[in-house]
Chain A
Amino acid sequence: MNHVWIILIGALVGSSCSMLGCFLVLRKMSMIGDAISHSVLPGIVIAFLISGSRDSLVMMFGAAAIGLVTVFLIQMFQNSGVQSDASIGVVFTALFAVGVVLISLYTRQVDLDLDCVLYGEIAYAPWDTLHVGGHSIGPKAVWGVGASFLLNVLVISLFFKQFKISTFDPALAAALGIPVVFFHYLLMGLVSISTVASFESVGAILVVGMIIVPAATAYLLTDKLSTMIVISVLLSIISSVLGYYIAFLLDASIGGTMVVVAGVLFLIALFFSPKGVRHHVKFSHGA
């Protein structure tokens, strides 16, 4: 049963992240997952200083708060004309540095690194079960990541058209009366919630990888946004299943192997897809 749970968690994290990843890749903001994985450091330090506890719920609350601050700042800088890669870089390095400074000032005697208190491990996720009225209702991660997956599906399918036009052509979107800035913040909010919820269950590498790699692969295979999302979700599921199987054969890190498989799939797409190397066609609005 543990095998099934882990593959399910991997697939849920992958689907949830790659779905958002498609928009992020198109907006040249795919490194945002990595940015959040670092920038939450001051969040856990501040949460620890206030509560005096390293309880995972407290840590996650602190991380979620700073995660939102991170995406808010990145989006705000971008709105005011800073290039997207620069605004991601500035925000996450500065926030991470604030965390390092806070640790060196106040909490040197406490084991407070992200690996220890925030990042989970997918291998152990099946045992971290949720109980309702004394009965186990399955791993906490399935519920947490599953909820963020459903939220993403719901919001994206409700506002698909708005997200699409705001992503490809913000000027046109504004002309059509779509509140572009609102949708950018909404997307960023989803990214923040999904990543922090996943970090706690499965660790950083799987989340960061699943945001970028399947979406980038799907981008090589199609011109149509809706198809791109479907392909990227499928790729992330394949990566989870195959990655778990290979990790089983090699006795290796599960999250790591899943992302390696996603990377290999990217390479295959790059070399063997008929349009992989000569992908010049721009996305069309009529997708």
Chain B
Amino acid sequence: MNQMLKKWLVMGLVLLFSLGGCSASDVSNGGTESGKIRVTTTIGMINDIVKNVGGEHVETIGLMKSGVDPHLYKASQGDIKKLDTADMIFYNGLHLEGKMVDIFEKMAKKKPTIAVTKNIPKSKLHAPLDGSQDVDPHVWFNVKHWISATETVAEELSAFDKQHASDYKQNAERYIEKLRQLDDYVTKQIATIPKQTRVLVTAHDAFGYFGEEYGIKVMGLQGISTASEYGSKDVSELRDYLVKNKIKAVFVESSVPKKAIEAVIEGAKEKGHAIKIGGELFSDAMGAEGTEEGTYIGMVKHNVDTIVSALK
């Protein structure tokens, strides 16, 4: 038995030393060889801002890839390096990244770690219905809020890299101009839906700010959390509402399972009202990289076009 123990001990020690060697060679250096600022971001929408504002002076790395629900994001070993070697970190905040937000707040003492939502006035943020202190973190669907986030990114980049401050300002102005056009586009498009059927039904309450800003009623099955369970009463209430108001379509989302929504459609069918699935909306994550929907502007346009064509 003792021999066995010895064998394990030796094996453990060998492993320990071999790993020691690996981690020693893996010491990260903060600066970049290319002279670019390394920026690490959480969700794709923020990465998009930094790319647009930083232009040629920054190198961005996103932690959460397309189709990933930030609430349920699982970290991998590589994230350590991404956060460690970053010169700056941008995240959403408002508890979107869950417990990671605590870590980001701690990291802010060591390097610029910024919540892009920090300059959105508190009065513009929704408190959830139960009256607690928390706020809905899905601010990006009100394009005006995302303009504020862009301004925050530009300010922080300029403060960190004063040498290129004028470039950041110019890039930000150009991007904000595009966002203003997008904002107009959304307002006009949503207004073309007849008032009575201007109802957006989805499985995930990510569209609160969207509904408020652009005048469309938002109804959902679940609470904000994608992990919370939905009750059967919600399913039947929603079904009755849809049948009564003759709403034509409901929507599924890229990062939320379709099951709950399908239960509603099935229920309405039994009551003699046909509802179709209006299409897939992007909520917590953007489309695949390199596609139109893989950018913030493309994603919002896709959502609006999908909603308008299904409800009109």
Contact = CB atoms under 8 A, between A and B. Distances in A.
Interface of A: 2-4, 6-7, 48, 52-54, 56, 100, 103-104, 106-113, 115-121, 123-124, 126-129, 221-222, 224, 227, 230-231, 234-235, 237-238, 241-242, 244-245, 247-248, 250-254, 256-257
Nearest to A106: B130
A116 B95 CA distance: 9
B9 interface: yes
A56 B101 CA distance: 11
Contact of A127 (B22, B103, B133): B103
A127 B224 contact: no
B142 to A, nearest CB: 18
Given A116-B225, A238-B8, A123 B102 contact: no
17 contacts: A2-B80, A3-B19, A100-B229, A108-B129, A110-B134, A110-B224, A117-B98, A118-B99, A119-B99, A123-B80, A128-B103, A234-B5, A234-B9, A237-B12, A242-B15, A247-B77, A248-B26
Contacts of A116: 71, 95, 98-99, 225, 227
Given A113-B228, A224-B1, A234-B12, A248 B223 contact: no
Interface of B: 1, 4-5, 8-9, 11-12, 15-16, 18-19, 22-23, 26, 71-72, 74-80, 83-84, 95, 98-100, 102-103, 106-107, 128-130, 132-134, 137, 205, 222-225, 227-231
Contact of A129 (B16, B98, B106, B129): B106
B229 A111 contact: no
Contact of A241 (B16, B128, B222, B229): B16
Given A118-B99, A253-B75, 5 more contacts: A110-B132, A116-B98, A121-B100, A253-B74, A253-B77
B102 to A, nearest CB: 6
B228 A124 contact: no
A4 B23 contact: yes
Contact of B225 (A48, A112, A252, A254): A112
Contacts of A237: 12
Contacts of A119: 99
Nearest to A109: B128
Given A53-B133, A127-B107, A251 B78 contact: yes
Contacts of A110: 128, 130, 132, 134, 223-225
Given A112-B228, A238-B11, A123 B5 contact: no
A115 B71 CA distance: 8
A117 B95 CA distance: 9
Most buried by B among A112, A224, A230: A112
Contacts of A107: 130, 132, 223
Contacts of A108: 129-130, 222-224, 228
B77 A121 contact: no
A256 B100 CA distance: 18
Q: Chain A contact residues: over half helix, strand or loop, or mixed?
A: helix
A241 B12 contact: yes
A3 B83 CA distance: 13
A135 to B, nearest CB: 12
B130 A127 contact: no
B225 A241 contact: no
A107 to B, nearest CB: 6
Nearest to B136: A109
B223 to A, nearest CB: 4
A109 B77 contact: no
A252 B98 contact: no
A56 B98 CA distance: 10
A95 to B, nearest CB: 15
A127 B106 contact: yes
Contacts of A244: 19, 77
B223 A120 contact: no
A1 B5 CA distance: 30
B223 A128 contact: no
Contacts of B230: 104
Contacts of A230: 5
Contacts of B99: 56, 116-121, 124
Contact of A123 (B9, B79, B224): B79
A46 to B, nearest CB: 14
A111 B94 CA distance: 11
List 9 A-B pairs, minimum CB-CB distance, nearest first: A109-B128, A108-B223, A3-B23, A113-B227, A251-B78, A116-B98, A247-B77, A123-B75, A111-B225
A244 B12 CA distance: 13
A234 B13 CA distance: 10
Nearest to A114: B227
A22 to B, nearest CB: 15
A7 B75 contact: no
Contacts of A111: 71, 95, 98, 134, 137, 223-225
A230 B9 CA distance: 10
B74 A7 contact: no
Most buried by B among A54, A221, A235, A254: A54
Contact of A227 (B1, B9, B74, B222): B1
